[in-house]
């Protein structure tokens, strides 16, 4: 079955810096790659997604890139703010990574 | 905030008991998926319901079962509770075909509810 690995498990950056989270997947049939932000006590919130017919997608400070050949995809957050602090999850179709706890220091 | 609601917010059960969790999907969404999220881990797919029928299942035993009603709301039932069933149970709703731009079989964009925290003692 599908296996999704996510790195790093924790990430601490200074406000204004960029943050990058990377995921790899094993099933070449995977064709949908969403990213979720989960704050304490809440359900995952979709922040951006990309499908297999697109290599890159951007929405304001957030961008996602997909390399189908290498089976990896990444989340890029620029100009980070303290309110970006949360746990971020990648997914390949319905299989989720283990999450990255992002802390943005003021 | 999505329009997906779940009840109850949290509950406590003892081993061997049965539990029913409920989910109301976002307006216009006719597909509901359930996930289990253990502490410190990512959500794990349990199953999906579309038009009142199970439409995909993850690696969970038969004691995890579900229903979807004509108004697209859904229930997750867990029988013979075990300690390891303690987790946050998440419901997500979607519209089939919303993923059509990604090609045949492309999964739909899902919107999660706040979850139900289940503790099994």
Closest CB to A43: pick one of B44, B45, B90. B90
CA-based nearest distance B53→chain A, Å:
18
Residue B95 Rama label (left phi>0; alpha psi -120 to 50; beta): beta
Cis, peptide link before residue B8, omega less than 30° from 0? yes
DSSP assigned state of B41: S
CA-based nearest distance B20→chain A, Å:
19
Beta partners for residue B16, in sequence order: none
Shortest CA distance from B46: residue in chain A: A94
Per-residue pLDDT reduced to its tens digit, A47-103? 999 988 889 999 999 999 999 999 999 999 999 999 999 999 999 988 999 999 999
Per-residue pLDDT reduced to its tens digit, A69-85? 999 999 999 999 999 99
Shortest CA distance from B57: residue in chain A: A94
Which residues 25-84 of A have a C-beta within 8 angstroms of B? 31-32, 34, 36, 41-46, 49, 51-53
């Amino acid at each position: 079955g599908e296996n999704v690995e996510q790195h790093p498990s924790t990430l601490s950056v200074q406000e204004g810096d960029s943050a990058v989270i990377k995921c790899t997947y094993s099933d070449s049939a995977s064709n949908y790659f969403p990213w979720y932000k989960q704050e304490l006590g809440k359900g995952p919130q979709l922040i951006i997604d990309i499908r297999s017919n697109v290599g890159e997608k951007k929405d304001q400070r957030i961008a996602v890139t997909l390399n189908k050949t290498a089976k990896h995809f990444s989340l890029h957050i620029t100009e980070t703010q303290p309110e970006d602090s949360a746990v971020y999850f990648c997914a390949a179709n319905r299989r989720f990574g283990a999450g990255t706890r992002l802390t943005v220091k003021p | 905030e999505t329009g997906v609601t779940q009840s109850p917010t949290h509950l406590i059960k003892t081993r061997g008991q049965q539990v029913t969790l409920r989910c109301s999907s976002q307006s216009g969404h006719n597909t509901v998926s359930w996930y289990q999220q253990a502490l410190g881990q990512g959500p794990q797919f349990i199953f999906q319901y579309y038009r009142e029928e199970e439409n995909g299942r993850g690696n969970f035993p038969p004691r995890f079962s579900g229903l979807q009603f004509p108004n697209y709301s859904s229930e997750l039932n867990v029988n013979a509770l075990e300690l390891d069933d303690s987790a946050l149970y998440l419901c997500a709703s979607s519209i089939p075909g919303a993923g059509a731009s990604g090609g045949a079989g492309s999964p739909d964009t899902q919107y999660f509810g706040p979850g139900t925290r289940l503790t099994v003692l």
